Structure 1
Amino acid sequence: MTMDSSERPEADQPSRPQNPRAYYQPILALDTRIVTGYEVLGRDCGASGARSLGAYFSHPGVSEKAKRELDAFIREQAVREHGRLGRTEKLFINLQPGWLSGGSSGSVDSSVLPMLKLLEQCKVDPSLICIEVTEEDFDGEIECLVGAVREFRRAGCSIAVDDVGSQFSNLDRIAHIQPDMLKVDMNMVSRSAHHEGFHGVLRSLSAIADGIGASLLMEGVETRQDLQRAISAGARYVQGYLFSGAEAAFGSRDRYKRLLDSELLDTKRKQAGEESGRWRQAEELAREAERLLRDSGGEGGEEAFLAPLLRKLDAGCMRAYLCRSDGIQLSANYQRTEGGWIREEHYRGSDWSWRPYFVYSSVELLSGRRFAISRPYTDLDRGGRVRTVSVPAGPDMFLLVDVREDELG
């Protein structure tokens, strides 16, 4: 990639770069904890240091021809250096969709073949190249873009979609390209910590990646808190100034291993502690349900079972009800309010088998498990993240308790 996503174009016409060079920002894999690749970025190197080329590439006054020529120059420099040194890390190279699809010519050959020939000349294995397609406005033929991607993939390159979620993401394009990787800016992850809307979008991106078999790369990781959020969001790869900015040369692959080992261990301990707390709470709920069943002898219906149970539920428990194993609700909803529990009869007879967690939970309970805990989801009535704890409550009957995620455990 020859342009930092964080850079903005300058107001004045930028001067033509005098000494453009390829710089490299490391990308780390959380599974191996080593540098797995480098994103190629452009810098203009002079007496005052290395200056980003973001303003030049973004400026509307610079012709597309000039941008393409400079981009190709930096790209060639990076590939030649990679081949000369015999590096085994991946090179992440950004190509705009308009360029990748051949622009106005519509010719795939005009963008793909020179790149593949360069790899051959420099004896660089195409499997060490990841082509990043940016999430920019694109009004070209999607067939040309897909054709170019297909040629790169056929040669052995991997494909990433860059800046996912930074604008109105083109899900249609992602579906057509079927990338190996989705790059998400940490700005999305940081906002998700305080804004339910961004949290929901981030979960959706994670689900999309999982659904198409792609890995998540979180870029813009600047603090340890960013790294922990990236890990919790399901990132496999991370990139950002916490580790390094763009540098003029490749570095040691394991130079950040100690940092990653430490943060992964802290995150695992935190998550394990939270999950253990959830299991303890679910275990207590199961024991209480078993005691009530014994005391009532299965007689008295929902009142005999639920009424004493509600008095013992923690403050985080917001809803309780009884269902058959096929998902049909047998009782009213018992909903917690500021004034206490209220009874909502209109939910009786509802079918909850459509909920993603229900079938899995019912199979676990019917197989002899004492309880089941759903994955977190957003409550449709009250908003906020909840989990549903399910426990057996008699023959072909389950007790379901919805618990706020921040209170469970």
Structure 2
Amino acid sequence: MDPLDILENLHNVKPAFQPIISAVKHTVIGYEVLGRFQFEGAWISLGDFFHDEDVPDEYKVEVDQHLLKLAISQMLDSGNDGLLFISRNARQLLINSGEDFLETLLVYAEQGFSMNRIVLEITEHDFDQDFDVLEHLLIYYKTYGIQIAVDHVGAKSSNIDRIRQLRPHILKIDTSFVRNANPDVFQDVIQTLSGLARRIGAKLSYENIEDNYQLYFAWKHGGHYYQGYYLAEPDFELPLNGCIPSDVGEKIKAFVQREKSMVEGRYAFTARREEKVKKLISKWHGPETADHFIEAVAESFTEESFRLYICNSDGLQVSSNYRKHGSQWEIEPDQIGSHWAFRPFFLENTMRMKTWNKGILSDIYSDIETGELIRTFSYPLSEDCYLFIDISHEFISERDYLLFQ
């Protein structure tokens, strides 16, 4: 389609509203505006028009402004008080120093549409050009109460520092990566973004949710907002405030019950291993005879463990490694004297065990030596020595409550 056909027929351009759902209230908190054009009797997406590099930016700005005015007018007429998510390309936004967008919003602010209801979405790859100029403009917008969202965040890890510098209100994550990307790599990206969001006080919003698994992933990984065809399709009409066409609450209730079952399974597993160690504790006579104690423990944990060792509270290993090869345990005395306090959470976990006098189960993590996903069960043998039992990947993979965090 010729872009001029769209520009010369703006009366055939309309906004469609895709609901965005809150994880807190399970209600619609706002809508993303999507452009639609009536062509040969059907309404088609304007996505190709906006993404076509051959279409002049001035054309795109004119259509964007038209959609913005229609969307805000419709929100005002309907009495809907939700947020309005507006996507903008940075290059087009910087035309006329960003004043066109702001002036339009100021006109509607006088009519009662508060600036803090606008969420301006900027795609992360826009940071690659003129970031300093863009940053100053977005910070200027924020002084008016406009919220800033970074879309497709995580696509380029090199932009983490720029995102931290900008401190947006919302980080939007494309859940299609859950299906298409390497799961382990995507999991690492999500953990990085979750940590970043906590540090800068941003909310995570998951978009393009198309099935129940993607919704579960978004819920489980700190999603504050959900958006996608699985939950609600875009519509020309604005529903009543907070109305959701699909029962998100019931879906999330099922997630909660599943997660509670997994947590109960991990607690029960930990309690059973703790009882096994307690039955052997009478054989513990201090670090001088640590290897004799480890040998006794290994026999009781041959099903689930592949490696055992003992450290003192400073992280110094006082026993050999006992490592299982096949069905046989082998001793590795060269590990005596190794230092492990540098490992994340080591000192915190030993202090927890000392304070509570209870064993703990680690999160799932990749073992440095094997590269496999494992967990570690730890138990306080005394005020200064702690037993570490590494649970094998084979054992974990057969039990969902251990395999998933």
Q: TM exceeds 0.5?
A: yes
Q: In the TM superposition, what are the counterparts of 1:101-116 in structure 2 within 5 Å? A: 102-103=94-95, 107-108=97-98, 110-111=99-100, 113-116=102-105
Name the CA shift for 1:350/1:111 in 2 (closer, same or farther; >3 Å): farther
Tell me which moved more, 255-264 or 143-152. Answer: 255-264
Distance (Å, rounded) in 2 between the aligned partners of 1:384 and 1:73? 54
Q: Name the CA shift for 1:275/1:153 in 2 (closer, same or farther; >3 Å).
A: same
Q: Is the 8 A contact 2:312 2:385 kept in 1?
A: yes
Which of 157, 172, 181 lines up with 2:146 in the alignment? Answer: 157
Contact 1:95–1:132 at 8 Å: present in 2 too?
A: yes
Is this contact kept in 2: 1:365–1:372, CA < 8 A?
Answer: yes
Deviation at 1:164, TM superposition (A): 1.3
- Cα distance change, pair 48–330 in 1 and its aligned pair in 2 (3 A): farther
Question: Residue 22 of structure 2 contacts residue 224 of structure 2 at CA under 8 Å; is this kept in 1?
Answer: yes
Following superposition, the deviation at residue 382 of structure 1 comes to: 2.1
Match of 1:276 among 249, 260, 264: 264
Separation of aligned partners in 2, 1:318 and 1:275? 23
Asked if structure 1 preserves the Cα contact closer than 8 Å seen for 2:231 and 2:245, the reply is: no
Determine if the alignment matches structure 1 residue 327 to structure 2 residue 315.
Answer: yes
Other-structure match for 1:178: 167
Question: Displacement of 1:161 after TM fit?
Answer: 0.5
- The one-letter amino acid paired with 1:349 is G
Note if contact 1:319-1:402 (Cα within 8 Å) is conserved in structure 2.
yes
CA pair 189-299 structure 1, distance change in 2 beyond 3 A: closer
Q: Is the 8 A contact 1:23 1:247 kept in 2?
A: yes
**Structure-2 residue corresponding to 1:87:** 80
Equivalents in 1 of 2:78, 2:289: separation in Å?
Answer: 76
CA shift, 1:314, in A, is 6.0
**Mapping 1:99-248, distance limit 5 Å:** 99-100=92-93, 102-103=94-95, 107-108=97-98, 110-111=99-100, 113-167=102-156, 170-191=159-180, 195-248=183-236
Whether the 8 Å contact between 2:284 and 2:381 is mirrored in structure 1 is no
The two structures, once aligned, show a CA RMSD in angstroms of 2.5
Shift of 1:321: 1.6
How far does residue 118 in structure 1 lie from its aligned partner after superposition? 3.4
Q: Distance in 1 between matches of 2:77 and 2:357?
A: 59
Identify if the C-alpha distance between structure 1 residues 211 and 59 changes in structure 2 by more than 3 Å, giving closer, same or farther.
same
Q: Deviations over 1:116-141 (max 9, x none)?
A: 41342332112211111112244543
Distance 1:42 1:327, change over 3 A: same
Q: Does 1:44 align with 2:37?
A: yes
Instruction: Give 2:376's match in structure 1, choosing from 385, 388, 397.
Output: 388
Which one of 18, 21, 31 corresponds to residue 14 of structure 2? Answer: 21
Consecutive unaligned residues of structure 1, counting only runs of 5 or more, are: 1-11
Three-state SS of the structure 2 residue aligned to 1:400 is strand
**CA distance change for structure 1 residues 314 and 258 in 2, over 3 Å: closer, same or farther?**
farther
Question: Which is helix-richer, 1 or 2?
Answer: 2
| CA-CA distance at 1:168 after TM superposition | 5.4
Q: In the alignment, which residue of structure 1 is the partner of 2:49?
A: 56
CA contact (8 A) 2:29 2:242 kept: no
Identity %: 27
Cα offset, 1:191, TM superposition: 4.3
Alignment equivalent of 2:238, drawn from 243, 250, 264? 250
2: CA distance, partners of 1:51 / 1:34: 28
Does the CA contact (< 8 Å) of 1:153 and 1:159 recur in 2? Answer: yes
Q: TM-score, normalised by structure 2?
A: 0.88
Contact 1:112 1:152 in 2 (8 A): no
Stretches of structure 2 that go unaligned for 5 or more consecutive residues are none
> AA paired with 2:68?
R
Question: Aligned-pair distance for 1:355?
Answer: 2.5
The equivalent of 1:4 in structure 2 is none
Is the CA contact 1:112–1:151 (under 8 Å) kept in the aligned structure 2? no
Matches within 5 A, 1:244-393: 244-256=232-244, 259-298=247-286, 301-313=289-301, 315-393=303-381
CA distance in 2 between partners of 1:316 and 1:153 (Å):
54
Alignment CA distance shift 1:243-1:306 (3 Å): same
Q: Quick check: 1:96–1:136 contact (8 Å CA) kept in 2? A: no
Aligned equivalents of 1:240, 1:326: Cα separation in 2:
50
1:281 deviates by 1.7
Residue aligning to 2:90: 97
SS of residue paired to 1:164: coil
| Contact 1:357-1:375 within 8 A present in 2 as well | no
Q: CA deviation at 1:231?
A: 1.3
Residues 282, 389 of structure 1: 8 Å contact kept: yes
Aligned-partner Cα distance in 1 for 2:324–2:222: 33
Q: Work out the CA distance in 2 between the residues paired with 1:112 and 1:224.
A: 37
